[in-house]
Structure 1
Amino acid sequence: MKTLLKILGFVVILVALYALIAIFAFDKKNHFERSVVINAPKEKVWQHVGSLKGYNVWDPFSKTDKDIVITYSGTGDKVGDSYHWKGNDKVGEGEQSVTQLVPNEKMITKLHFIKPFEGDAVATFTLIPEGNGTKVTWAMDNELNSMMKIMKPMMDMNMKTMFDQGLGDLKKIAEK
């Protein structure tokens, strides 16, 4: 029994030590990005990236809830256009709005998360010609509070999975 308590105490100390290191060592500015090369010209890829409605066809986050409710403001392809989503506990609630557009090259959006956690982020979609195809880079920038710093490795694993799934779906759609 004493051995079990010692092991348990050691694990608790390791977890607390990791939390302290994460809080003080991880930068509060967080940048995450993934890329894929799509065998299609950037004009064709842009049809699926350059608007919020096009984005929501391959967006893996909204696919997590088949009953998600999305309400658009505008056509989704102009600066100032936005949408509001409300879904289950995995999807939560929030808003995304277009803040910058360079046709066939870049779309930047502001994300405002309402539930399950309040927060803001900036998503950037960049298209660059690469050979006969187009390199699409999907990036997200946000600030991490202390709790998010502790969860950063898990968040990065989840983001990698979701971004790779989304970019894979985008590739399938754009290469048709």
Structure 2
Amino acid sequence: MKKFLKIVGVILGIFVVYCLIAMLVVDSKCHNEQSIVINASKEKVWQNVNSMKTFNTWNPWMKMDPNLTVTYKGTAGEVGDGYTWKGNDDVGEGEQEITAIVTNEKVATKMHFIKPMDDTATSDLLLATEGSATKVTWTIDYEIETLFKPMKPMMNYQMNKSFSEGLEKLKELSEK
């Protein structure tokens, strides 16, 4: 039993040291980025990214709550086009709005997360011609509080997993 407690103590000690070091060393700024090449023209892909309604047809977080409440505002495909969402603990509550558009090239948005915690982020969808295909890059930038810095590797993993899932769905929709 003493040996078991010693092992648990060492593991707990390592975890505490990791957390302290991460809180002191890890950058609070976060940037995630994923890209995919879609075998479709920029114009065709653009039809699936140029408004919040079309974005939500492949947005991976939309399927996390079958009872998610979404309310749209503004004119689709224009600056100010946005939506609010309210859902279960997996998706929380917040709003997202288009802040800039460059037709067939870029949609920039800002997000305000209300629940489970108040926070903000910016996100871009960038389209570039790659031969007869289109490369789509999805980015997000946000900051995390010091107490959450030890969780940054797990947050990056989960964000990249969600981005990949969403981009695969976008590819599927755009290549039809």
Q: TM-score range by the shorter chain?
A: over 0.9
Query: How do 1:100-111 residues align onto structure 2 when only pairs under 5 Å count?
Result: 100-111=100-111
2:98 maps to which residue? 98
C-alpha contact (below 8 Å) 1:76/1:98 kept by paired residues: no
Tell me how far 1:4 sits from its aligned partner: 1.3
**Which residue of structure 1 lines up, in the alignment, with residue 30 of structure 2?**
30
Percentage identity across aligned positions?
51
Instruction: Map 1:55-74; keep pairs closer than 5 Å.
Output: 55-74=55-74
Query: What CA deviation, in whole Å up to 9, does each residue of 1:138-157 have, x standing for no partner?
Result: 00000111132111111111
Give the Cα separation in 2 of the matches to 1:53 and 1:81: 9
Q: CA RMSD in A?
A: 0.9
SS of corresponding position for 1:136: strand
| Residue of structure 1 in register with 2:21 after alignment | 21
In the alignment, the residues of structure 2 paired with residue 168 and residue 101 of structure 1 have an alpha-carbon distance, to the nearest angstrom, of: 23
Within 2, Cα distance between the matches of 1:49 and 1:169?
12
Query: For the Cα contact (< 8 Å) 1:83–1:95, is it kept in 2?
Result: yes
SS for the counterpart of 1:89 is coil
Aligned to 2:85: 85
- Look up the match of 1:147: 147
Could you tell me how far 1:76 is from its partner in structure 2?
A: 3.1
| Structure 2 residues without counterparts, runs of 5 or longer | none
C-alpha distance in 2 between matches for 1:103 and 1:156:
29
Partner of 1:41: 41
Q: What displacement does 1:161 show?
A: 1.3
Query: 2:119 maps to what in 1?
Result: 119
Return the alpha-carbon distance in structure 2 between the equivalents of residues 105 and 41 of structure 1.
12
Deviations, residues 10-35 of structure 1 (Å, cap 9, x unaligned)? 11111111111211221111100000
What runs of 5+ residues in structure 1 fail to find an aligned partner? none
The aligned residue for residue 130 of structure 2 is 130
Alpha-carbon distance between aligned partners in 2 of 1:96 and 1:47, rounded to the nearest angstrom: 19
* CA deviation string 1:19-69 (max 9, x = no partner): 112112211111000000000010110110111111000000111111111
> Which of 41-50 and 16-25 deviates more?
16-25
Which segment is superposed worse, 118-127 or 140-149?
A: 140-149
Query: Structure 1-normalised TM-score?
Result: 0.97
TM-score when normalising by structure 2: 0.97
Letter matched to residue 114 of structure 2 = I
Which has the larger displacement, 74-83 or 129-138? 74-83
Deviation, 1:74, is: 1.3
* Counterparts of 1:97 and 1:169, CA distance in 2: 21
- The residue identity in structure 2 corresponding to 1:46 is W
Which amino acid in structure 1 is aligned with residue 165 of structure 2? Q
CA shift at 1:78, angstroms? 1.0
Q: Give 2:165's aligned residue.
A: 165
